[in-house]
């Protein structure tokens, strides 16, 4: 439904986790290491919309870790709860790295400047002054988001093909109902945070014209191609067809 947050419904199908499985998980957790997961150091909440359909908006909880000063990567869930569903991922890079990308690649990335300065990108539970120190950095970055699970339409499993997502770039895009729902749950005010972030500087070179899908939208689609190999092929053994 337009403007309604449906990301927590319906439940994922399947049996409840068995006791034996839980015990096995406890045993493996005590022995194995989880290096990549342990690098996660922050929780960001934002809103994404499908690159081809701005009306389909999703609340996205990012759990991020730095690879280095210019690159961080985030797992995206539909909520911060222990039973949250992994719906996508985002790569975040500095403006300097973004400018090295081929022009055809730049359109797959979105700017974070509006999200930061408007207050709608925030760190749940984190004191404002600490948030804003990181937002000063995020404001000068670009992100590439891919969602695998279309929770906004109520899918109870990850159906369809991955889709490129985009982020908010101006006032009036985000549904008031979604904004108010998040503000109420986290006891925050986007308007008040916007005022407090007014000092934050955006991208040094301005938002690149090819970013944010060039302002015209973008959609991931399937196409059929020939599977080519180096072996001779006769008419009775035509190459198979695959999807990419």
- What is Dmax (Cα atoms) for the chain? 70
Distant-in-sequence, close-in-space partners of 118: CB < 8 Å, separation ≥ 6: 168, 171, 190, 194
- The mean per-residue pLDDT over the stretch 107-125 comes to 97
Provide the pLDDT for residue 241: 47
Provide the pLDDT for residue 10: 60
pLDDT-based confidence at residue 243 (cuts at 50, 70, 90): very low
- The number of residues making up the chain comes to 244
pLDDT-based confidence at residue 34 (cuts at 50, 70, 90): confident
Distant-in-sequence, close-in-space partners of 155: CB < 8 Å, separation ≥ 6: 149
Give all strands (DSSP E) within 30-162, no chain letters.
Answer: 42-50, 53-68, 71-77, 86-94, 110-111, 141-147
**8 A C-beta contact, residue 57 and residue 49:** yes
**Is the per-residue pLDDT at 219 higher than 60?**
yes
pLDDT-based confidence at residue 61 (cuts at 50, 70, 90): very high
Provide the pLDDT for residue 26: 63
**Is the per-residue pLDDT at 183 higher than 70?**
yes
pLDDT-based confidence at residue 4 (cuts at 50, 70, 90): low
- Could you report the per-residue pLDDT of 122-161, keeping only the tens digit for each? 999 999 999 999 999 999 999 999 999 999 999 999 999 9
Provide the pLDDT for residue 227: 80
Compute φ and ψ for 198, nearest 5 degrees.
Answer: -60, -30
- The mean per-residue pLDDT over the stretch 5-34 comes to 60
**8 A C-beta contact, residue 128 and residue 184:** no
> pTM of this prediction?
0.84
**Nearest residue to 189 (alpha-carbon basis) of 138, 128, 129:** 128
**8 A C-beta contact, residue 30 and residue 110:** no
What pairs with residue 226 in β-bridges? 241
Annotated domain spans of the chain: 34-243
For residues 176 and 172, give the distance between their C-alpha atoms in angstroms, rounded to a whole number. 9
Provide the pLDDT for residue 232: 56
Provide the pLDDT for residue 32: 63
**Is the per-residue pLDDT at 6 higher than 60?**
no
Element (H, E) at 241: strand 241-243
What pairs with residue 141 in β-bridges? 94
**Is the per-residue pLDDT at 2 higher than 90?**
no
């Amino acid at each position: 439904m337009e403007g309604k947050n449906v990301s927590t419904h319906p439940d994922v199908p399947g049996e409840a986790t068995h006791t034996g499985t839980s015990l096995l998980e406890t045993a493996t957790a005590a022995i194995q290491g989880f290096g990549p997961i342990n690098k996660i150091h922050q929780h960001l909440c934002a809103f994404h919309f499908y690159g081809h359909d701005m009306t389909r908006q999703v609340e996205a909880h990012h759990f991020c870790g730095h690879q280095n000063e210019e690159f961080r990567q985030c797992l995206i869930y539909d909520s911060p709860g222990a039973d949250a569903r992994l719906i996508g991922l985002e790569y975040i890079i500095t403006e300097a790295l973004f400018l090295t990308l081929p022009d055809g690649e730049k359109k797959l990335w979105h700017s974070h400047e509006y999200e930061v300065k408007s207050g709608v990108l925030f760190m749940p539970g984190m004191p404002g002054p600490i948030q804003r120190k990181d937002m000063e950095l995020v404001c000068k970055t670009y992100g590439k988001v891919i969602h695998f699970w279309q929770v906004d339409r109520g899918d109870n499993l990850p159906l369809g093909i991955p889709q490129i997502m985009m982020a908010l770039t101006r006032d009036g895009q985000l549904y008031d109902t979604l904004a108010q729902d998040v503000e109420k749950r986290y006891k925050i005010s986007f308007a008040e945070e916007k005022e407090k972030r007014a000092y934050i500087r955006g991208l040094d070179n301005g938002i690149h014209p090819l970013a944010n899908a060039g302002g015209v939208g973008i959609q991931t689609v399937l196409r059929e191609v020939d599977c080519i190999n180096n072996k001779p092929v006769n008419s009775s053994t035509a190459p198979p067809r695959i999807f990419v």
